[in-house]
Structure 1
Amino acid sequence: MEFWIIFTKLLLLVYIAYLAVQTNISHISWIVLAFLVYFCANITLYIIKNNTIKRILHMVSIAITTGAYLFVDPLFSLLLPLSIVELAAGFFDKKITLLILSLLPILYMNESLKPLYGLVACLSFMILSLTTIYSDRLVKNEAQIDTMRKKLQKLTKNINENTEYIRQSEYTFKLEERNRISQEIHDKIGHSMTGALFQMEASKRLMETDPQKATELLQNAINISKEGIENIRLTLKNMKPPTEQVGIHRLKLLIDDFNAKQQIKTVLTHEGNLDIIAPIQWKIIHENVTEALTNAMKYSHATHVSVDLKVLNKLVRVEVKDNGAGTAMIKKGLGIIGMEERTASVHGKIIVDSSDGFSVTTLLPLG
């Protein structure tokens, strides 16, 4: 705001100096002195921050301008409107009041100066009004930015706290799962193995004195060991998730992670019996989808990507398709070549199409 007011005053000073020198050469020294005094007062005005002193300096500036108008050159009256408007702005809120106050001196001026003074007064009023509006908006925007910055800091703090909570929850879950497995092994398998060991120790002691009893104890130990082995097998079977759950879960995690890090909306759909997909096929599907999403992020300029997994009668079909610009000529880079090699290792096939967006389809045979 102050920059534009200072700039306007400098323009007025240059204009007054030019006209005064042209018409009043004999008083050049007084004109220069008036300029210097006015310049010093106004420089001090914009350096000091105290409002009371600033108002006093505004009045001093008006007094200097009035004196220069009366005793040096009438053109100095052109500096009055801006000083009056600046001073009055600290006391009156209505803009029309400022304009009226800046126009009051026109009643006491020479007729020849009135049009020019009126024009300068109107321009000074407009400049101050525009700079005030700009300054108010700037302050408002800075306040909004400050508010948004505080909200962002708060959100970041909440995210960090939630991330820490999730990490602690995952760690707690792992500890609980380890404790559960340990307790299950201790209660079922540990007791069985201990019982079998006791039976075998007793059979060893009775081997010479009572072979029949020793044989009976040894058979009991064998039966207990078989039961323990079966418990181990059942425990491991219950702990191990189905292959299709691991595969589709990893794929969902991949899509969720991609959505969180990129602006491209990605959707996963699937249908069919996922149980019949082999682990090696899940591995190839996961790697091919990862490569296709990376290519879509780098080259497609797309806003939407769909990942469609279908289990058909004799094959698994996985299509990754985006709504990007596509390309007139498909140039196979290392990414697509790698996908083809991986897929070919299990007798599958890759189909690339760029007629509508860009799509990569993986076909894997079943059985």
Structure 2
Amino acid sequence: MELRIMSGKLILMGFIIYSYIQSEAVNLSWLVFCLLVYFCVNLAIAIFKKGMAKKVLIILSIMISAVSFLEVHSLFILLLPLNLYECAENMPRSKWAMLVVSVIPVFFIGGHIAAVYGLTAAFHFLLFLMAEHDAARIEKLENHIDQTRKDMQTLSKTLHENEEYIRQSEYTFKLEERSRLSQEIHDKIGHSMTGALIQLEAAKRLLHTDKEKASELLQNAINISKDGIEKIRLTLKNIKPPPEQMGIHRLKLLLDECAARHQIPISFVHYGDLDAISHIQWKIIFENITESLTNTMKYAKATHVSIEIHVLNTLIKTEVKDNGKGQEKIKKGMGIIGMEERAASVNGQVIVDGSNGFSVNTLLPKHE
């Protein structure tokens, strides 16, 4: 805003100088002096944004314009409106009053100067309104930016707190699981092992005096040990997640992360009994899908990727297909060769097709 107002003042000062040269007046030194004083005072007005000092300087500038108008050159009156409008800055109700005040000199100055003054007052009033509107808009945008920055800081802090909460929750869940596992081993297995140990100690004492009783105690210890071993097996079986859960959940997590990172939809469906897929087969499927997605994101320029897992009677088929540009002549790089080697390690194979988009099919034999 200050830049526009100062530019308007400089234009008027240039006009005054030009008019003075054309009029061939003789008091040049006073003209230069008044212009320099006026320029310095108004430069100070631009430096002081707000406060009493700025108001005092504006009044001083008005006085300079008035005195110069009376004593030096009549065109100095053109500088008056802008200073009057500056008095009404940040005072919405005073703007129109200042416009009325700035028009009053028209009735006291005669000749062509009155017309020029009227046009100048009207033009600079519009200039002042535009500058004030832009200043208000800039201030609003700055406030919006500040608020956005604060919101981002708040969100960042909240995100950090949520991440910390998740880490603490995971750690707590691990501790609870360890505590539960420890208690379960103590309750189900500890008592069995203690009972077997007591039976063995008793059999040891009766071994030379009552062999029949010692034999009975040894058999009891064997039965208790078998029961304990079975409880250990059942406990570990219940703790260990089935391979299909580990594989499918890990795969879904990979697909969600890839879709979010690259902003591309990835559809996933599966058919058949996933229990038939072993750990090593899940590992191959996961790594081949990862390699296929990597190639798609780098080269295919696709907008959609579909992934299907079919568990058939004799084989397990995994297909990764995109709707990208495809490739008629396929050159097998390290990625495709690596997928083929992984599949071949369990007597499987990989089939790639680039005629309609790009698809990678991994075929693995189903183990009975």
TM-score normalised according to structure 2 size? 0.89
Number of the residue aligned with 1:84: 84
Q: Which residue number in structure 1 is paired with residue 214 of structure 2?
A: 214
Q: Provide the secondary structure at the position in 2 that maps to 1:316.
A: strand
Offset at residue 97 of structure 1 (A): 4.4
**1:264 counterpart SS class:** coil
Match of 1:125, SS state, is helix
CA contact (8 A) 2:88 2:95 kept: no
1:79-105 per-residue CA deviation (whole Å, 9 max, x = no partner) reads 222112212345443755444433332
Aligned equivalent of 2:163: 163
Report how far residue 243 of structure 1 moved: 0.9
Coordinate RMSD, CA, aligned:
2.6
Q: Aligned residue for 1:337? A: 337
Report the Cα distance in structure 1 between the residues aligned to 2:324 and 2:204, rounded to whole angstroms.
77
Equivalenced residues, count: 366
> What's the counterpart of residue 128 of structure 2?
128
Shift of 1:261: 4.1
* Residues 1-367 of structure 1: pairs in structure 2 closer than 5 A: 1-93=1-93, 96-302=96-302, 304-324=304-324, 332-346=332-346, 347-353=348-354, 355-356=356-357, 358-367=358-367
* C-alpha displacement of 1:250: 0.8
- Seen in structure 2, the aligned counterparts of structure 1 residues 95 and 287 have a Cα distance that, compared at 3 Å, is farther
Mapped partners of 2:328, 2:80: distance in 1? 71
Retained in 1: the 8 A contact 2:323–2:356?
no
Structure 1 residue ranges without an equivalent (≥5): none
Q: How far is 1:327 from its partner?
A: 6.1
Q: Deviations over 1:98-137 (max 9, x none)?
A: 4443333222223222333233223212221111111111
Structure 2: where are the runs of 5+ without partners? Answer: none
- Per the TM alignment, residue 245 of structure 1 is displaced from its structure 2 partner at its CA by 0.7
Higher alpha-carbon deviation: 321-330 or 61-70: 321-330
| Shift in alpha-carbon separation, 1:125–1:350, aligned structure 2, 3 A | farther
Distance 2:345 2:198 in 1: 53
Tell me, in whole angstroms, the C-alpha distance in 1 between the residues paired with 2:305 and 2:98: 61
Provide the secondary structure at the position in 1 that maps to 2:308.
Answer: strand
CA distances 1:304-350 after superposition (whole Å, capped 9, x unpaired): 44333333343333333445555676555433333333233332214
Q: Which amino acid aligns with 1:166?
A: I
**Offset, 1:65:** 1.2
Conserved in 2, the CA contact under 8 Å of 1:339 and 1:350?
A: no
State the one-letter code of the partner of 1:271: Y
Other structure's SS at 2:93 match: coil
User: What is the percentage of aligned positions where both structures have the same residue?
Assistant: 54
When residues 264 and 56 of structure 1 are mapped into structure 2, their CA distance, relative to the original with a 3 A threshold, is same
Contact 1:21/1:28 (8 A) holds in 2: no
CA–CA separation in structure 2 for the residues paired with 1:173 and 1:140: 48
